Chain A
Amino acid sequence: MLAALILLPLLLVPVAWLIPWYRVRSWLLPVAGASHLLLVVLALGGVPDAAPGEWIGLDPLSRLVLLVASPLYLGCALYAVDYLEMRRERGNRTMVPCLLLFLSALSMAAMSRHLGLMWLALETTTLASAPLIYFNRNRLSIEATWKYLLICSVGIALAMLGLLFFAYAALRGGVPVSLLLSDLLAAGPVLSRPWLHAGFVLLLVGFGTKMGLAPLHAWKPDAYGEAPGLVGALLAGGLTSLAFLAVLRTLQVMNAAGALGMARPLLLGLGLLSLLLAALFMMRQGDFKRMLAYSSIEHMGLLAVGVGIGGLATFGALLHMINNSLAKGCLFLSAGNIHRAFASKRLADVRGALVALPFSGALFLTAFLAVTGTPPFGIFLSEFTILRGIFGAGRLWVGLAVLVLLATVFIGMGASVLAVSQGEPTERDMAFTDRFLLVAPPLLLLLAVLFLGLYIPESLRLLLEQAQALVEGGA
Chain B
Amino acid sequence: MTELSNLCLLLVILVNFFALGSSRLTACIQAVALQGAVLALLPLATHGLSSHSLLLAGGALALKGVFIPWLLLRAIREVHIRREMEPLIGFVPTLLLGALATAGAFIFADLLPLVEAHQGGLFIPTSLATLFSGFLLLISRRKAITQVVGYLILENGIFIFGILLAEAMPMMVEAGVLLDLLVGVFVMGIVLDQINREFSTLDTEQLSALKE
**Which residues of A approach B to under 8 Å, CB–CB?**
116-117, 119-120, 123, 127, 130-131, 134, 137-140, 142-147, 149-150, 153-154, 157, 160-161, 164, 167-168, 171-172, 176-179, 192, 194-195, 198, 221-222, 225-226, 281
Contacts and interface: CB of A to CB of B under 8 A. Distances in A.
Given A150-B151, A179-B173, A161 B210 contact: no
A168 B165 contact: yes
10 contacts: A116-B173, A139-B198, A143-B207, A146-B144, A157-B154, A168-B164, A195-B112, A221-B212, A226-B210, A281-B212
Given A150-B147, A179-B169, A130 B187 contact: yes
Contacts of B208: 143
B209 to A, nearest CB: 6
Interface in B161-184: 161-162, 164-165, 168-170, 172-173, 176-177, 180, 183-184
B120 interface: no
A281 B212 CA distance: 8
B180 A194 contact: no
B180 A120 contact: yes
B176 A146 contact: no
A164 B172 CA distance: 14
Main secondary structure of the interface of A (DSSP, over half): helix
B168 A160 contact: no
Contacts of B164: 168
A146 B180 contact: no
Contacts of B131: 161
A149 B209 contact: no
B210 A144 contact: yes
A335 B164 CA distance: 49
B169 A194 contact: no
Given A120-B176, A221-B210, A167 B194 contact: no
Contacts of B158: 157, 160-161, 164
B168 A140 contact: no
Contacts of A127: 183-184, 187
B138 interface: yes
Contacts of B184: 123, 127, 149, 153
Q: Give me the 9 closest cross-chain CB pairs, A-B, nearest first.
A: A177-B168, A116-B173, A143-B207, A222-B210, A120-B176, A161-B158, A194-B112, A164-B161, A167-B165
